[in-house]
Amino acid sequence: MKKILLIFGVLSLLIFIRPALGLNSNSGTNTISSSVSVNQANQVDETDSLGEAFEGVKHFYNYTGFANATSGNLLMILIGIVFIYLGIKFDYEPLLLIPIGAGVIIGNIPFVAGNQTGIYETGSVLNYLYFGVVKGVYPPLIFLGIGAMTDFSSLIANPKLMLLGAAAQIGVFATFMGALYLGFNLPEAGAIGIIGGADGPTAIFLSSKLANGVNVLADGTVVKNLIGPIAIAAYSYMALVPVIQPPLMRLLISKEDRKIKMKPPRAVTQKEKMIFPVVALILTTFISPSALPLLGMLFFGNLLKESGRTERLADTARTKLIDIVTILLGVTVGASTQADIFITKDSMLIFGLGAISFVIATMGGLLFAKFMNLFLKGDNKINPLIGAAGVSAVPDSARVVHTEALKSDPSNYLLMHAMAPNVAGVIGSAIAAGIILSFLG
């Protein structure tokens, strides 16, 4: 890490001493064109070959990243390095943070506009890859893979735990109200609100529909493009689940309640597992038809897994396909954080709202679990810790719940119980996104 910071410092020094070297340049195409014109006009009078060589070096320098870099570019590159460091050093969602961190660096390498390099330049390779984000193509494919990986047995065995997944969605609507209070318009606030569900693909899907910089409101106002800040905020807080949730658990749940042991869930038959995705697909999409792309692919993937006849398809969905889409999604979302677009007041507000929403969602799940225990007796009581798994950061929040329970009682295993509200949170966040989209889309 020290070597990386040293290299970063040297690059920064080279950029900031360029005026002293007589190498000042703006990054715009017009400036470069005028520089070329001046060079051509002066060539008539220049006879000194050394002077011509120096002018050539200056002309080349105008096209380099050193000439076109800004302090914003350097800040975002540093953030990208931090993301990669967190993913490698602390194992914080490395499958997400490392591609996103690399994408942040890629998106903030300074370049000359007009050469089809940047992710927002029509015709560039990155722009074509970004199409899957802007049009909401990647999130349903991610949900297909999630469905093919997920075992809904714990939820089928104890369906009342679905209420915890629903309770955690309070973060979505609290964030929506907060965004409205801070001055965002309705579609922008709706897209920002879904950060409270702690579900990156759902956040990208909804923001691509509502806050894509294209939609025009009735009064002629064009909504802002908030896909990058929303996606980065959602994935950042998903990665920080092991940091954010444990203090809230210890604050709201007494040590005595953290020691509650839940009875083992009943055995679920294979027939139930096969019927569940079909029934759940019909029920959830009837409630929220706008969430069909997400919920349809989620339960289709699970049907591939549980049918027993399509193992090859299920294996492709949960391995190769989801890996490819995760790479493309992470890199392009990271690259969309170009400093001139990303470093804004709105982005800072979104990050603040995201932190608050994640805290509210976790607290909502924990407190509702305690509320449920008021109506449950004996060994039917639930350990309130599993309420924190109601956010849809699968499976990290379930693992955090399990780890926290073991700290209070080394014989208390909550992982399978926590997976029920965890997968319910995935379904709940998709339904919430569909409801918001149906009203604001």
Among residues 151, 427, 148, the alpha carbon closest in space to that of 304 is found at 148
State the pLDDT at residue 62.
81
Question: Hey, what are 104's tokens?
Answer: 């942040």
Match 């009735």 to its residue by tokens. Answer: 218
Among residues 147, 81, 108, the alpha carbon closest in space to that of 299 is found at 147
By CB atoms closer than 10 A (0-12, 13-18, 19+), residue 129 is middle
Q: Give, as one character, the DSSP assignment of residue 136.
A: T
Instruction: Write out pLDDT tens, residues 196-241.
Output: 887 889 999 999 999 988 888 877 788 898 998 999 999 888 888 9
Per-residue pLDDT for 327 more than 90?
yes
Match 């208390």 to its residue by tokens. Answer: 412
Q: How confident is the model at residue 17 (pLDDT cuts 50, 70, 90)?
A: low
Mean pLDDT over each residue of the chain, to the nearest integer? 88
Distance CA 212, CA 441 (A): 12
Distance CA 243, CA 258 (A): 18
Per-residue pLDDT for 23 more than 60?
no
Match 């909504």 to its residue by tokens. Answer: 223
Phi, psi of 216 (to 5 degrees): -120, 130
Asked which of 52-61, 290-299, 393-402 is least confident by mean pLDDT, the reply is 52-61
Instruction: Write out pLDDT tens, residues 59-96.
Output: 788 878 888 889 999 999 999 999 999 999 998 889 98
Among residues 206, 142, 144, 129, the alpha carbon closest in space to that of 432 is found at 206
State the pLDDT at residue 33.
44
By CB atoms closer than 10 A (0-12, 13-18, 19+), residue 72 is middle
Which residues, at least 6 apart from 422, have a Cβ–Cβ distance to it below 8 Å?
A: 165, 389, 390, 391, 392, 393, 394, 395, 397, 398
Q: Between 66 and 386, whose confidence is greater?
A: 386
DSSP assignments along 281-306, one per residue: HHHHHHH-GGGHHHHHHHHHHHHHHH
Q: Give, as one character, the DSSP assignment of residue 388.
A: G
Match 């339904």 to its residue by tokens. Answer: 431
Q: How confident is the model at residue 103 (pLDDT cuts 50, 70, 90)?
A: very high
Per-residue pLDDT for 28 more than 60?
no
Distance CA 182, CA 188 (A): 11
Encoded amino acid at 8, one letter: F
Helix (H, G, I), strand (E, B) or coil at 212: strand
Distance CA 93, CA 329 (A): 14
Per-residue pLDDT for 268 more than 60?
yes
H helical segments located in 307-395 = 311-316, 322-335, 339-342, 345-373
CA 22 to chain centre: 42
Phi, psi of 121 (to 5 degrees): -90, 120
Q: How confident is the model at residue 379 (pLDDT cuts 50, 70, 90)?
A: confident
Taking each helix axis from N to C terminus, what angle separates 49-61 and 29-43, rounded to the nearest 10 degrees?
170
* Average pLDDT for 36-53: 58
Neighbours of 323 (CB within 10 A): 12
* Average pLDDT for 391-416: 92
State the pLDDT at residue 165.
93
Q: Between 14 and 434, whose confidence is greater?
A: 434
Helix (H, G, I), strand (E, B) or coil at 225: strand
